[in-house]
Amino acid sequence: MLTIAFIILSASMIIIATVDVPFQIWDYTKQLRMTKQEVKDEMKQTEGMPE
């Protein structure tokens, strides 16, 4: 009985992990992206103000 419960628990955790890990990677890379305004501001800082 305890063995069956352990197998069910392990399988459940594996299923959750197969969904959660790709989502966490996607969310992390999404947070690292810069907005268009941030890109413009950084270009102005590195290249100087165009005159």
Residue span of the structural domain in which 34 resides = 2-45
Predicted local distance difference test score (pLDDT) of residue 29: 97
Local confidence pLDDT in tens for the 51 residues of the chain: 999 999 999 999 999 999 999 999 999 999 999 999 999 999 999 887 665
- Flag whether 9 is in a domain: yes
- Flag whether 32 is in a domain: yes
- Flag whether 50 is in a domain: no
- Flag whether 51 is in a domain: no
* pTM for this entry: 0.65
Nearest 5°: phi and psi at 33?
Answer: -65, 150
What is the total count of domains within the chain? Answer: 1
